[in-house]
Structure 1
C-alpha cells in the first residue's frame, strides 16, 4: 500500500519584523518629544514677569519692530530660551554618557568632579582675581571643570589595572570631597566672595543674554557631536571589557572620548548657568525605561527631553511668585527629586 505524501503546508506570510516596528515607534516618539520641546520653548518666550499677549508675542517674534515688547522678547527671552535648550541638551547627554561609561544608572556629571571643579574655579576667581559677572565666570568655570575631569581620569587610570568604572567613581568622589572642602573654606573666610558666589551657584537662566550663549555654544556643539558618535562604542562597553575587546572595541579610547564629551558638555553648561541638579541623573534613567538600554536611542532622547524639563522648570519659576522669580536650579531640584524617587519606587532602575 502506497501512502501518498501529504502536500506541504502553505507558509504564512512572515509578520512584520519586530525590530523595524520598534525602530519606527521610537522614531515617532522622538519626533513627538521634539514637538513638545518646540511648544515649551514657545511658552518660555511668551511667559514672563511682564505679561505680553500671545498674539503680540507671535508677531514680534518674527518681526522686530523695536517696541518695548520686542526688546524684551528678542534681547531677553529668546536668548534665555535658546540657552536653556542648549544647556538642557548638554546636561542630558552628559548624564547619559556618564552613566554608560561607569555602567552605573545613578551616576551623573558631578561624579567626575565636573561641577565642583567649575565651582572651585569660580570661587578662586572671585576671591583672588576680583572677577565678577557671568561673563567673567564662564572661562574660569570651564577651565576648572576641564582640570577636574583630567585629574579624575589620571587618578582612575593610575596603576596596572588601568581605568575601570569603579576606579573612576572612587577618584571622582575623592576629588569632589576635596573640592567641596576647599570651596567651603574660601567662602567662610571671605564673606564678599560668598555673596557673589551664591547667586551663580544656585543655577539660573535669568540675566543670561546672547553673549553668554555665543561663548559656550561652540564647546557644547562639539560635545554633542562627540557624544552622539559614541553611541555604538558605548553599547559595546555595556557588554563588559572582555566582551568588548573580543568584539574589537577600543575600550580605552571610548572612555577618553567619553570623558572629553562630558567635560565639554557639563563644563560649558555649568559655566554658563551654574550647577543644575537632577537633569543629567533623572532624565536618562527615565529614557532607558521608555526606550531600553540602546545608546543610539538613549542619547538623542536624553538630548531632547532634558531641555523640556529645564525650560519647563524655568517657566514654572517665573509664574510661582510674580513678579519675583524662583531660580531654575531650585525648581529642578524640587521637580527632579520626587520624579526620580517615583521612578525608583515604581520599578527597578533600568539596566545599562
Structure 2
C-alpha cells in the first residue's frame, strides 16, 4: 500500500487541531491564526504588548471620573487656601478672616491677613502650579520619569545670578534681584539647550540631561565660591536659597506673573503634541507633530515657569518631581488631563507644606522648601515602589 500524505488542512480533528474547512467556511490560508469564531487571538498582534511607555497598559478612566476628581481637587485647594490665610503663629477665626478681606486693614488681624498671609497664599498657589507644570513638561520632553524642572539648570542659573547681584550691588530687595534670577535661569536653559542640540538629531533627551547636569555643577561651584568668600553675601542669600514663601511683597508676584501666565498657557497648548511625543519621535512625526518645535516650545515653557517661580521664592525641590506621578495615578498618561490636574495638586501640595511648616515650629516656622523636601522624599519612594514608573 502507498503512504497517504495529508496536508495540514486534512488532519482529523482532535487533540486541539483545527477542524477541516467545510464548503461554507473559507480555509485559513496561513495568515493571522484565528479561533473558531474568526476573531484574532490575544497573540495575533505582537506590538500590543511592548515595553514602550505609550503601550503600557493603564486602567481606563472615564471623562466623568476625571472631571469629578478635578472638582474634588479644586475643592481641596480651596480648603487649603482658607487654612493658609487663617493658620499661623496667631490663629485667626474664619469670620475675622472674612471681615479682613471685606473691610481691609481696620484691625490688627486685618493687617496680618492682607499684608502677610494673603500674599504668602497667592505665592504658594502660583509657584506650586508653575513647578508642577514644569515637572510634567520635563518628564514628557525627556521621557524620563525621574526628570525634575531643575534638570535644565534653571534653578542653579537663578541662584548664580542672585548671588552675583547681591555680591555686586548688595541689594536685599527681592523685587530688585528677581530680574537677575529670571535672566540667569533663561541664560542657563539656553546654554543647556544649545549643548544638547548639537548633532544631526537635534536636542536629544539624553544630551539635554547630561548638559543640564554639567551646567548645574559649574554654576553650583560658582555659588559656593562666592558665598564662601563673602559671608555677608551668604547671610543675604540663605533666606532666598532655602525656598520660602514668607515676607515677600506682592510687587514680586506682579513682576513674575506675566512669565508664569505665558509659560502656563504655552504648556497647556502643548498637551496634544506631548501625547504624540510619548509614542516616540518617529511615530510623532508620522502623526504630523513637529518634534523639534515641540521640544523647543516645551523648553521655553519650562524656562518661563521654573525660572519665574525660582526667581520669586527661591529653589523648591520635589514639587515638580512628585506631583506629576500623583496626578498621573488618576489621569493616566493623557496630558490634556495631566497638566490641569498637576497645576491643582502642585498648588495644594506647596500650600499644605507651608501650613505644616508654620504649625510644627510655633512660634517660629520651617520654610516651605525644607518641608517639601522632607515630605516629598518618602512619597516619591512609595510611588516608585508601588507603581510602574515606566508608565509615562
Please state whether the residue corresponding to 2:341 is helix, strand or coil. helix
In structure 2, the residue matched to 1:93 is 133
Aligned to 1:281: 321
In the alignment, the residues of structure 2 paired with residue 52 and residue 44 of structure 1 have an alpha-carbon distance, to the nearest angstrom, of: 11
Correspondence for 2:70 among 30, 47, 69:
30
Aligned residue in 2 for 1:254: 294
Q: What CA distance in whole angstroms lies between the structure 2 residues aligned with 1:316 and 1:127?
A: 33
Higher alpha-carbon deviation: 54-63 or 149-158:
54-63
Contact 1:90 1:266 in 2 (8 A): yes
Structure number with higher helix proportion = 1
d(CA) in 2 for partners of 1:348, 1:35: 29
1:302 paired to 2:342: yes
Aligned residue pairs total 334
Give the structure-2-normalised TM-score.
Answer: 0.83
CA distance in 2, matches of 1:298, 1:65: 40
Give the drift of 1:332: 0.7
Contact 2:170 2:233 in 1 (8 A): no
Identify which of 187, 195, 198 aligns with 1:158.
198
1:338 deviates by 0.8
Moved over 4 A (4+): none
Q: Quote the offset at 1:320 in angstroms.
A: 0.8
Equivalent of 1:325 in 365, 371, 386: 365
**Would the aligned equivalents of 2:323 and 2:346 in 1 still touch at CA under 8 Å?**
yes
Deviation of 1:348 after TM superposition, in Å, equals 2.1
- Structure 1 residue 192, shift from structure 2 partner: 1.1
Q: CA deviation at 1:186?
A: 1.3
Q: Secondary structure at the match of 1:59?
A: helix
Q: Structure 1 residues 159, 350: closer, same or farther in 2, change over 3 A?
A: closer
Q: 2:386 aligns with which of 321, 342, 346?
A: 346
Instruction: Determine if the alignment matches structure 1 residue 80 to structure 2 residue 133.
Output: no
Counterparts of 1:201-220 in structure 2, within 5 Å, are: 201-220=241-260
- Compute the displacement of 1:188 (Å): 1.4
Shift of 1:289: 2.0
Question: How much has 1:154 moved relative to structure 2?
Answer: 0.5
CA shift digits 1:141-200 (9 cap, x unpaired): 111000011111111111223111111111111111111111111111111111111111
State the partner residue of 2:266: 226
Whole-Å Cα distance in 1 between the matches of residues 79 and 249 of structure 2? 21
Contact 1:117 1:147 in 2 (8 A): yes
Matched, 1:241 2:313: no
Report deviation, 1:347. Answer: 2.2
| Structure 1: unaligned runs, 5 residues or longer | 1-17
- Contact 1:288–1:350 under 8 Å retained in 2: no
